[in-house]
Amino acid sequence: MHEFGHARQAIEAMIRSGDLMGLLRQTEALHGHLCPGVALGVKAGQYAMQHLDREHYGMEDIVAIVECNNCFTDGIQVVTGCTFGNNALIFKDLGKTAVTVARREDGAAVRLVVHPDFRERMFARYPAAGPLFEKVVERREGSPEDEHRLQHLWAAMSRRELEVPLAEQMAIQTLTINLPAYARIYPTLICQSCGEGVMEPRVARQGNKTLCLTCARQEYYLLTGQGISLVKEDD
């Protein structure tokens, strides 16, 4: 491994050896808890990285295109090393639990998408999980005891899902894709109202003034658990 890749040395070793449990523990530190969605992201990321046979140092040599903003994505980020911060994570707001991981050098890629009936089949395997999930997560009505029970159940389910054959959980497709250009480095301009630095393509011009989008009261994109939307600061 390159000397500058030491930070990912343990993760890369787990990918090569197929140590899904080790990768799951690494992801738990980022995600905050274990759940089946995290386990699926770990499995998809490990499969893709092993398939592409390319280590990743966070320099956009590997790119992950996720189609959801849920637990699955955290597994992808940890295992592949593709994040928003290193510009190797691309988000398509399609609402599909799916990812495409690609090598920049030749566009070789693999797409994994969770089977549409996975959740239904999973809850059939763990009959106590469905009602508890609905009460604690969907309706936000669970007691502390309910939340504690769900966390224990979720962790057990996550570990057991690691043992399920990947083909029973996801459809897998190999393909070749065209990737966007490397991220550009833009100059920083100063908003003449708040005095904060702003990336050049995100400034607004009002008369002779250079303003950030919030001071200019212009719309900007906001990503929340509901997806991407256009908002204004005074919304």
DSSP codes of every residue in 74-87 = HHHHHHH---TTTT
pLDDT in tens, 91-101: 999 999 999 99
Contacts of 47 (CB under 8 A, 6+ apart): 110, 112, 166, 172
Domain covering 3-176, topology: 60s Ribosomal Protein L30; Chain: A; (3.30.1330)
> What predicted TM-score, i.e. pTM, was given to this entire model?
0.93
d(CA 154, CA 184): 41
d(CA 26, CA 107): 28
d(CA 183, CA 223): 20
pLDDT in tens, 135-192: 999 999 999 999 999 999 999 999 999 999 999 999 999 999 999 999 999 999 999 9
* Domain ranges in the chain with CATH number 3.30.1330.130: 3-176
pLDDT in tens, 63-116: 999 999 999 999 999 999 999 999 999 999 999 999 999 999 999 999 999 999
d(CA 187, CA 232): 24
Mean pLDDT of the chain: 94
Smallest Cα–Cα separation from 98: which of 115, 84, 82, 81?
115
